[in-house]
Amino acid sequence: MKRSERLVGMTYYLLEHPQQLVSLPFFTEAYDAAKSSVSEDLGIINQMFQKQGIGELLTVAGAAGGVKFIPFNSQENSESFADLLAKQLEDPERLLPGGYLFMSDLLGDPETIRNIGRLFATHFSDQNVDVIMTVATKGIPLAYAVASFLNVPVVIVRRDPKVTEGSTVSINYVSGSSRKIQTMVLPKRSLQKGANVLIIDDFMKAGGTIDGMKSLLAEFEANVAGIGVLAEAEDEDEERVVQDYVSLLQINNVDIKEKKIEVHRGTIFKS
């Protein structure tokens, strides 16, 4: 096989298997090529990935070595994406009663979701994440997008147990905004003791839901590897119950009378 064909095949394979160690013999056998040729190909791919700001190839030396594709978003790509998203959210047509914003259309676009996922995966790539956790419903696509770049599984917390999930562990928590007592459940089989869990959600106000997920993790004796939310909004009436998070966007001023919304880059750009 020619180098040109091999480059297409190897680029595809690496993109489809992020964070996975691929041995050199895997490629030399798949493409019937010499080790030196494959090494050279990997050099070209690595250079091009870095030039385009989409990731890099990590070389692991030794007999059990190989290469690992680590996806990332360059700072420049991340900032321009966040600014574009912020602008879309500032559309006054999004204003809903109670000062909420309609975001379902943006969260329904697979390319937007993938970009958000890449951005969070870049931020948390050195946190040794084992599992991503989110709560039904809107956080789910975001969680899977992050997971696909970090190559880890997703577990979904629900408000109500379902027969198709077997035994569950449940906790009660106080919703930050409404002060109501709510329940969260997670199937017993879904988490190992000691797992490093990254919490991903779409929206945070007071932080009650995220705090509930932290309590649930404590119940499983698992660790919080990080917390990422797409958008955070200020809550005038009370302080946040969660502090150790990053947000992609901050919704700063929602003026229902004047039909104005201000959205800025979130804390993920400040760390």
**Minimum distance of its own copies from residue 271's CB (angstroms):** 25
Please list, in sequence order, all residues whose beta carbon lies within 8 angstroms of the beta carbon of residue 187, skipping any fewer than 6 positions away: 155, 165, 166, 167, 168
Q: Does 255 bind its own copies (CB under 8 A)?
A: no
Nearest CA-CA partner of 225 in 252, 242, 244: 244
Q: Does 119 bind its own copies (CB under 8 A)?
A: no
Q: Is 216 helix (H, G, I), strand (E, B) or coil?
A: helix
CA distances (Å), 45 to each of 38, 130, 229, in order?
10, 27, 32
Residue in the structure block whose two tokens are 């750009």:
269
Q: Does 165 bind its own copies (CB under 8 A)?
A: yes
Bridge partner list, 227: 199
Q: Does 181 bind its own copies (CB under 8 A)?
A: no
Phi, psi (deg, nearest 5) at residue 197: -115, 130
- Nearer to its own copies by Cβ, of 7 and 174: the residue is 7
Q: Does 192 bind its own copies (CB under 8 A)?
A: no
Q: Does 247 bind its own copies (CB under 8 A)?
A: no
**How far apart (Å, rounded) are the C-alpha atoms in residues 228 and 247?**
6
- Nearer to its own copies by Cβ, of 96 and 256: the residue is 96
**Minimum distance of its own copies from residue 259's CB (angstroms):** 15
In whole angstroms, what separates CA 117 from the centre of its chain? 4
Give me the amino acid identity at 37.
S
* Of positions 24, 56, 59, 114, contacts its own copies by CB under 8 A: 114
* Of positions 62, 63, 76, 111, contacts its own copies by CB under 8 A: 111
Binding mask 194-223 for its own copies (x = CB under 8 A): ---------x--------------------
CA distances (Å), 147 to each of 16, 69, 117, 129, in order?
13, 14, 8, 9
Q: Does 58 bind its own copies (CB under 8 A)?
A: no
**Minimum distance of its own copies from residue 264's CB (angstroms):** 20
Q: Is 53 helix (H, G, I), strand (E, B) or coil?
A: coil
Phi, psi (deg, nearest 5) at residue 96: -120, 160
* Stretch binding its own copies (CB under 8 A), from 97-105, 192-200, 236-244, 263-271: 97-105
Q: Give me the residues that bind its own copies (CB under 8 A), please.
A: 3-5, 7-9, 11-12, 15-16, 41, 44-45, 47-49, 51-52, 54, 96-98, 100-105, 108-111, 113-114, 136-138, 140-141, 144-145, 147-148, 151-156, 158, 163-166, 187, 189-190, 203
